[in-house]
Amino acid sequence: MTQILVTGGAGFLGSHLCDRLIANGNDVVCVDNYFTGSKENIRHLIGNPHFELMRHDVTFPLYVEVGQIYNLACPASPIHYQFDPVQTTKTSVHGAINMLGLAKRLKARILQASTSEVYGDPEVHPQTEDYWGRVNPIGIRSCYDEGKRCAETLFFDYWRQHKLEIKVIRIFNTYGPRMHPNDGRVVSNFIVQALKGEDITLYGDGQQTRSFCYVDDLIDGMVAMMNSDPAFVGPVNVGNPGEFTMLELAESVVRLTDSRSRMVFMPLPQDDPKRRQPNIEMAKKQLGWAPKVGLEDGLRETVAYFRKLLNTA
Ligand code: NAD
Ligand code: UDP
Ligand code: UDP
C-alpha cells in the first residue's frame, strides 16, 4: 500500500483519481482549497479509512508524509482561471515549487497535470510533444498557459538539478460526470443548456475543433504514467485523438438529449485555439495506453449524470 497525495483532489479529475487510487488499494491524502472543487465530489469517500481530506491552498508550504504526489491543483476552465488570474499563476508556479520541495524532501515520485494549452494556438497539427507551442504571454489565457509552462520548467529543473523522479502529462480536453455544471467548459455547457431547453451557445462560427477524452480513459493514462519506468519522464500527451468541431459536438448533444434547444452564435473569446488534437503515439509506445471510450458513449454517461443532477430525468 502506498500513501498518495492528490492536490486538487476535490475537483473533477482529482475526485475520479482518488476513487481509482483507493480502489487500487492505496491510502489517499486529498488536498484542496475548494476554489472550483467541491466536497460533493468526494463525499462518498469521507469516512473511508483509506481517505484523508485536508483543506489547504498549495501556494502555501505543505508538510505531510507520502510516497507519491499527483499535482492537479489548479482551476481548469477558462472562466474560473480568468476570474483571479494572479492567483491562477500563483497556484501553478508557487504550487509546483511547494509540491516539488515536498517531493524532494520525501524522495517521492511526483506527477504534474500539465495541459494541451502549453501548445497555445498551434501551427503543428496534430500536436506532438516536441512542438514548443504558440502561446501569447500577455493575453487573458496566459495566466493558465504560462503558469502551466513554468510549472513544466520547474519539474524538469528539479529533475535535472535534484534528480527528482518526475512525470509530466499534457492533458487534452477531458469530460465526464462531476464536471461542474456552471464551469463554462463546452461539454458541460452544451449538455446543461440542452437539458434545460436553453439556447446552445456556440462561440465564433463553431468550426474550431477540440478532441475530447472521457474521464475514465484519462485516469487510466495518468496512473499508467505515474507507475511507468522511472527513465520515462515525459512530457507525454494524454487525450483522445478523435477531433470534432464545436458545431458537431452541439449536434451530438442535441441528438443524445432529444432537446429542442436552438443553436446561437456568440463572439469567439480572445486567443481561443482554432484546432486541437493530440498525437498519442508516445503514450501508446511508452505506456501501452490508448483511450477506449468514443465520444457518443462518453457523452451518454455524462448526459445521464447531468440529468440526475438537474433532476430532469
Ligand atoms: P477542476 O477545476 O475541477 O479541479 C481543480 C481542483 O484544484 C479543484 O478542486 C480546485 O478547488 C483545486 N484548486 C485550485 N486552486 C487550488 C489551490 N491553490 N490549492 C489547492 N487546491 C486548489 O479541474 P479539473 O478538470 O479536474 O483539472 C484538474 C487538473 O488537470 C488541473 O491542473 C488542470 O489544469 C488539468 N487539466 C485538465 C483538463 C481537463 O480537460 N479537464 C485539461 C488539461 C489539464
Ligand atoms: N516545501 C514544502 N514541504 C516540504 C518541503 C518543502 O512545502 O516538505 C516547500 C518549501 O516551503 C519551499 C519549497 O517547497 O519553499 C521548495 O523547497 P526546496 O527545498 O526545493 O527549496 P528551498 O526550501 O531551498 O527554497
Ligand atoms: N465553447 C463554445 N461554447 C461554450 C463554451 C465553449 O463554443 O459555451 C468553445 C470555446 O470557444 C472553445 C471550445 O468550445 O473553442 C472549448 O472550450 P472550453 O472552455 O471547454 O476549453 P478550452 O478552450 O480550454 O479547450
Structure confidence at residue 287 (pLDDT): 98
Q: Is the CB of 202 under 6 A from ligand 1?
A: no
Which residue's CA lies nearest to atom 2 of ligand 1?
75
Question: Chain-wide mean pLDDT for the chain?
Answer: 96
Count other Cβ atoms within 10 Å, centred on residue 5.
Answer: 26
CA dist 259 and 145 (Å) reads: 35
Confirm if 97 and 86 have CB atoms less than 8 A apart. no
203-234 pLDDT, tens digit per residue, is 999 999 999 999 999 999 999 999 999 999 99
Sequence-ordered list of residues with C-beta below 8 angstroms from that of 251, at least 6 positions apart, any chain: none
Within 8 A by CB and 6+ apart from 139, the residues are 270, 271
Q: pLDDT tens digits for 75-94? A: 999 999 999 999 999 999 99
- Residue among 148, 87, 160 nearest 115 (CA): 148
Name the 3-class secondary structure at 183: coil
Rounded Cα–Cα distance for residues 171 and 300 (Å) = 22
Count CB-CB contacts under 10 A for residue 61: 12
The CA 141 to ligand 3 mean position distance, Å, reads: 12
Ligand 1 lined by 147 (C-beta under 6 Å):
no
23 lines ligand 2 (CB under 6 A): no
Find out whether the beta carbon of 59 lies less than 6 Å from any atom of ligand 1: yes
Please write the tens of the pLDDT for every residue from 173-208.
999 999 999 989 999 999 999 999 999 999 999 999
* Nearest Cα residue to atom 41 of ligand 1: 174
> Is cis: bond before 235, omega within 30 of 0?
yes
Q: Which ligand is nearest to the CA of 275?
A: 3
Nearest atom within ligand 1 for CA of residue 11: 9
Q: How far from each other are the two terminal CA atoms of the chain, in whole angstroms?
A: 40
The predicted pLDDT at position 313 comes to: 54
Reading the block at residue 162, the C-alpha cell is 535534484
Give me ligand 2 centre to Cα 93, in Å: 13
Distance 66 CA to ligand 2 centre (A): 15
> Which of 225, 51, 85, 217 shows the shortest CA–CA distance to 155?
225
- Tell me the three cell numbers of residue 267: 463572439
Q: Which residues of 136-156 are buried (b: 16+ CB within 10 A; e: fewer)?
A: eeeeebbbbbbbbbebbebbb
Residues in the chain: 313
pLDDT interval class at 311 (50, 70, 90): confident
The beta strands (E) that lie in the chain are given as 3-7, 27-32, 51-55, 68-71, 109-115, 166-171, 174-175, 200-203, 209-211, 213-214, 236-238, 243-245, 263-266
Are 123 and 136 within 8 A, CB to CB?
Answer: no
pLDDT band at 30 (very low <50, low <70, confident <90, very high): very high
- H helices, E strands: number in the chain: 9, 13
Average pLDDT value for residue range 297-309 = 97
β-bridge mates for residue 175, sequence order: 214
Its pTM stands at 0.97
Q: Tell me if 303 sits within 8 A of 214, measured CB to CB.
A: no
Q: Which atom of ligand 1 is nearest to the CA of 80?
A: 2
Q: In this structure, are strands 243-245 and 68-71 parallel, antiparallel, or unpaired?
A: unpaired
